[in-house]
């Protein structure tokens, strides 16, 4: 019997899509900041501030990303509807679930029963995403405070300057910021492939869940998404 059940809360889905679009915008504007890949149509008036415009949008999406990351961490830790996410920590410590999950990906076994909504591989990948988000937001703030000395830039300067010195200075901060971007560039296609893989093999509406919040289960067998 197919049963519909509620899986992802409203804030889970909203933060997911804001994060996705912000990372996309930050990658495009970030690449432009690193290597301006097109130049504006020249005109005699001093109005061609394409680079400044890209940096402006980069910082707007940068602070949006910081806000949505802080929001999602809060929802993960304190929202009762996120208990099913927190329960995934237990599965990440189970070797048995790891082995069964890898056999499932090799198409030689059924999906393991999991206590939480994420299987161990998925949980570790998302944990990696949040470590990378923390690194790129921190380095982004350090880059920001050296351009904008008032407001938030001025406020974080005292806290973040020691970290800048500790990692080897501003040049190293920029490199770490740039290199961390590649984690997202590699993660995204893998994430989309696995979402489609589970939608096709799991047949529980995994792709729809991140929009509607609902999932369809044959026997409440916890399928990943």
Query: Contacts from 34-40 at CB under 8 Å and sequence distance 24+?
Result: 34/178
Question: Least Å distance between CB 146 and ligand HEM?
Answer: 8
Our finding on whether 11 is near ligand HEM (CB under 6 A) is no
Residue that the structure tokens 């008032």 belong to? 150
- Write down the least CB distance from residue 15 to ligand HEM, Å: 14
For 71-101, letters b (16+ CB in 10 Å) and e give ebeebeeeeeebebbeebeebbeeeebbebb
Q: Is residue 179 within the footprint of ligand HEM (CB under 6 A)?
A: no
**Nearest-angstrom CA–CA distance, 85 and 210:** 14
Which residue's Cβ has the minimum distance to ligand HEM? 140
* 72 in contact with ligand HEM (CB under 6 A): no
Tokens encoding 24: 């996309």
Pair 143, 177: CB distance under 8 Å: yes
Nearer to ligand HEM, 54 or 102 (CB): 54
Q: Does residue 55 touch ligand HEM according to CB under 6 A? A: yes
Q: Which helix (H) or strand (E) holds 180?
A: helix 170-202
State the minimum distance, in angstroms, from the CB of residue 149 to ligand HEM.
Answer: 12
Residues 121-160 that bind ligand HEM (CB under 6 A): 136-137, 140-141, 143-144, 147
Residues 87-116 that bind ligand HEM (CB under 6 A): none
The Cα 87–Cα 221 span in angstroms is 15
For residue 180, the minimal CB distance to ligand HEM (Å) is 7
Integer Cα distance of 155 and 2 in angstroms: 54
Closer Cβ to ligand HEM, 26 or 206, answer by number: 26
In 3D space, the residue among 62, 84, 184, 72 whose CA is nearest the CA of residue 128 turns out to be 184
Which part of the chain contacts ligand HEM (CB under 6 A), choosing from 59-67, 74-82, 93-101, 114-122?
59-67
> Quick check: 187 binds ligand HEM (CB under 6 A)?
no
Which of 18, 23, 84, 173 binds ligand HEM (CB under 6 A)? It is: 23
Which residues are CB-neighbours of 111 under 8 A, at least 6 positions away? 100, 101, 104, 119, 202, 221, 222, 223, 224
Residues that bind ligand HEM (CB under 6 A): 23, 26-27, 30-31, 33-34, 55, 58-59, 62-63, 65-66, 136-137, 140-141, 143-144, 147, 174, 177-178, 181, 184
């Amino acid at each position: 019997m197919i049963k519909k059940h509620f899986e992802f809360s409203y804030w889970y889905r909203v933060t997911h899509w804001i994060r996705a679009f912000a990372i996309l915008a930050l990658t495009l504007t970030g690449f432009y900041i690193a290597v301006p890949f097109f130049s504006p149509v020249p005109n005699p008036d001093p109005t061609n501030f394409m680079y400044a415009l890209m940096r402006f949008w980069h910082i707007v999406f940068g602070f949006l990303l910081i806000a949505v990351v802080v929001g999602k961490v809060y929802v993960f830790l304190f929202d009762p509807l996120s208990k099913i996410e927190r329960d995934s920590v237990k599965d990440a410590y189970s070797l048995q679930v790891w082995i069964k999950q890898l056999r499932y990906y090799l198409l030689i076994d059924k999906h393991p029963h999991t206590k939480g909504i994420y299987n161990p591989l998925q949980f570790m990948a998302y944990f990696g995403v949040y470590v990378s988000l923390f690194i790129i937001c921190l380095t982004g703030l350090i880059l920001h405070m050296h351009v904008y000395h008032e407001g938030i830039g001025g406020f974080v300067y005292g806290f973040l300057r020691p970290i800048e010195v500790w990692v080897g200075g501003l040049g190293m901060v920029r490199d770490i910021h740039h290199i961390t971007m590649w984690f997202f560039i590699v993660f995204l296609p893998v994430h989309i492939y696995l979402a489609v893989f589970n939608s096709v093999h799991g047949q529980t509406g995994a792709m729809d869940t991140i929009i509607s919040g609902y999932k369809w289960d044959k026997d409440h067998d916890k399928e990943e998404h």
